[in-house]
Amino acid sequence: MTARIRPFQPDDYDRAFTLWQNSDGVGLSSADSRENILAYLLRNKGTSFVAEEEQRIIATILGGHDGRRGYIHHLCVHDGYRRQGLGNMLVTHCLDALKALGIQKCHIFILNDNHTGLAFWKQIGWHHRNDISLVSRTLEA
């Protein structure tokens, strides 16, 4: 594998979104619009990454923080490139970038029916928490 990992750039959006759309376990919403992702990248400079091979984005990770906790979104590896260590490498890049900013703990949101994703995170040392619940509310524009 000759994949290169580099920071996620605004020009990567279309190729990344196509990867997300075609991958099981990635939940997409209006929060993933071009405008919203570009704002996320701007607010969280240097903490999101892509892996590319021959100009093709084959994996992504969005990483950010709120000043005290880190958050990972859309760790996604193209089906044909799974089980080669790309996901783990992207997580390491993201966590290293967050640590450099002083972030000491990180969370990820995983859909309950994403069994492959849950198994991946467990395999690389993350723990499923049963002591908290996610509660959301949609804000009207």
pLDDT (average), residues 33-51: 97
Number of H-type helices and E-type strands within the chain: 4, 5
pLDDT band for position 101 (cuts 50, 70, 90): very high
- More confident site: 109 or 47: 47
pLDDT (average), residues 72-86: 94
pLDDT of residue 140: 78
pLDDT band for position 141 (cuts 50, 70, 90): low
Give the integer Cα–Cα distance in Å for 97 and 131. Answer: 28
pTM score of the predicted model: 0.91
Residue 22, both tokens:
């075609």
For residue 109, the number of C-alpha atoms closer than 13 Å in the C-beta half-sphere is 13
Say whether pLDDT at 99 is over 90: yes
Give the integer Cα–Cα distance in Å for 26 and 22. Answer: 9
Element (H, E) at 87: helix 86-100
pLDDT (average), residues 42-63: 96
- More confident site: 46 or 1: 46
Say whether pLDDT at 78 is over 90: yes
pLDDT of residue 124: 93
